Structure 1
Amino acid sequence: MKRTLPALLVCASLLVVAGPPAVAVAPSPVSRAVAEPVSYAVSGLVPGVPRETPGRAPARGTQRHIEYVPQSEVVHHGTRSVACSRSTGPYQRQTERYLRREVDGRQSVGDCRAIRRFQQAHRIVPASGFAGSVTGAMVRLMRAKKDPNRAGHCPDRRERTVCVDLNRQLLWVQQDGRVIFDPVAIRSGAPTMETRTGTYRIYLRHRRHISNLYHTPMPFAQFFDRGEALHAVYDDIYQGPGSHGCVNLTWTDAQKLWDLLKKQDIVYVWGRKPGV
């Protein structure tokens, strides 16, 4: 796929701007063929969840991840408590397995309570016990903590190697067979703007980069392939269709990665983002 140079230099998040203000409708995270859509509560409508301020890093420990929930369970402004979901989410089985519940793929009162505790511990809102795409992504991240390269997809080198797993939407850094930067969540390219796979080296670092075309901030930008970069975003890493090809990280993760990496470090990208 050919891209113009200006477009390559702009890899900030694509934001959904159409639709009603209270609910944004999205296709199911499991399959495009699923007829019933799921929705999510916008962050500004969930009690206790501040809106992100463009151009300003979120305060430490305040960022929340907005879960996709059924239309009937969308949390509305002013709700003081969140009811326990009776619905079975698309990532029910994966979550049951991780939480060591009976893996039957059916929501129960016990399942819901366990999932709610997991969501609360990882700042997922609404913590209703519905195992949606964000809960599933958090489960994948936690399962990867012990041994992210268990499948051996990322090459073991003596040099620092940034491993970008598009399949699981995860990133970590390893060297000499040892993980030196634990796996974190990422957001890669949106459909038609997928992050390119291959082996690259970081060739440019710009702490306060501003994209040329859209004048969008790209904090802690570390470019590795014709304009594609590792960089921070201000919004929730789990929301939106994706970037213009860059690898998006949370502000905190991008800052830590900036402190660790240098020019000429290797970036290895493989896989395919789910749903593209």
Structure 2
Amino acid sequence: MRVTHKIPAVRLRRGVALSVAGLVAAPALVLGTGTAAQAASCTKSTGPYQKKVEEFLKRPVDGKQSTGDCKATQKFQKAHGITPTIGYAGPLTWRTMNTMLDQKAAGKNPNKAKKCPTNKGRIACVDLTRQLSWIQDGKKLKFGPVPVRTGRDGAETRTGASKVYWRDIKHWSTIYKVWMPYSQFFDGGQAFHSVTKSMYNPPGSGGCVNMRPADAKSYWKLLKKGDDVFVYGRKPGT
């Protein structure tokens, strides 16, 4: 078995950081019992975000639940780990869709509001509100933006300025007992790293910035020890 190195001692900000936080989120809430039966069922109930969900899924927008609406919503929920997968147009389903719309609207100008510093040279920016990350050099966009999965409620990815202080291409988490490929630690135990699950899988990470494998690999190639990282905003639902 591969023996991993301990994280070098660093000054932790805003309280005690969770060592190697971030890959495995707490289980999402599943209502009732018999989860297998729930997954196969399809609700007839009209959700509070019915019209918005219908519009997002390019369904007829009438605000009434139909079998087609339910199945389309179920498909979306299953793809992103939203439970219970019964096709209900509820708050979590719409919040996820709305985040996707915000990400799409960012286009190739994610720092239009200039919330991430442009006077630092190479810097990795993380917008918790839109669940987006990108790398810029001054005002020039170098990579991204790409969707990310940040800390869940109670284990939020910490905001503020920091720097990449340790990199481990095949890190093993002693807390979660999982591999964290392309790990780049920037704040205590919080790091950019690869996961294979959906970036929209609720409720979020244990504090790390989860990335799709290809995006994490690109960050590994573009960033180096000492590069700046800036995290701002607030993740929806936290």
- Is the pair's TM-score, using the shorter chain for normalization, greater than 0.5? yes
Aligned residue runs from structure 1 range 204-219, under 5 A: 204-219=166-181
Alignment root-mean-square deviation, CA: 3.7
Counterpart pick for 1:3 among 16, 19, 22: 16
1:241: how far off? 1.1
Query: What's the counterpart of residue 240 of structure 1?
Result: 202
After TM superposition, the structure 1 = structure 2 runs for residues 25-40 of structure 1, keeping only pairs within 5 Å, are: none
Q: List alignment gaps of at least 5 residues for structure 2.
A: 1-13
Query: What percentage of residue pairs aligned between the two structures are identical?
Result: 35
Q: Which runs of 5+ in 1 are unaligned?
A: 25-39, 47-70, 74-84, 100-104
2:49 corresponding residue in structure 1? 89
Q: State the 1:255 CA deviation.
A: 1.4
Q: Tell me the SS of whatever aligns to 2:141.
A: strand
Cα distance in 1 between the residues matched to 2:180 and 2:225: 17
What is the match of residue 190 of structure 2? Answer: 228
The answer for the alignment partner of 1:174 in structure 2 is 136
Equivalent pair of 2:28/2:202 in contact (CA under 8 Å): no
Instruction: State whether residues 50 and 63 of structure 2, in contact with CA within 8 Å, keep that contact through their aligned partners in structure 1.
Output: no
User: Quick one: which of 96, 99, 107 aligns to 1:134?
Assistant: 96
Kept in 2: contact 1:140–1:168 (CA 8 A) = yes
Are the equivalent residues in 2 in contact too, given 1:145–1:182 (CA < 8 A)?
no
For residues 62 and 110 of structure 2, the distance between their equivalents in structure 1, rounded to whole angstroms, comes to 28
Separation (CA, whole Å) in 2 of partners of 1:216 and 1:8: 13
CA 18–189 in structure 1, closer or farther in 2 if over 3 Å, else same: closer
Amino acid in structure 1 at the alignment position of 2:49: G
SS at match of 2:98: helix
Report the 3-state secondary structure (helix = DSSP H, G, I; strand = E; otherwise coil) of the residue aligned with 1:173: strand
The Cα shift of 1:167 comes to 1.1
Match of 1:150 in 2: 112
TM-score of the superposition, structure 2-length normalised? 0.70
CA distance in 1, matches of 2:231, 2:49: 30
1:89 CA displacement: 3.1
Question: Are the counterparts in 2 of residues 91 and 136 from structure 1 also a CA contact under 8 Å?
Answer: no
Shift of 1:146: 3.2
- Ranked by relative contact order (alpha carbons within 8 Å, sequence separation 6 or more), the top structure is 2
Residues 202 and 267 in structure 1, CA contact (< 8 A), matched pair in contact too? yes
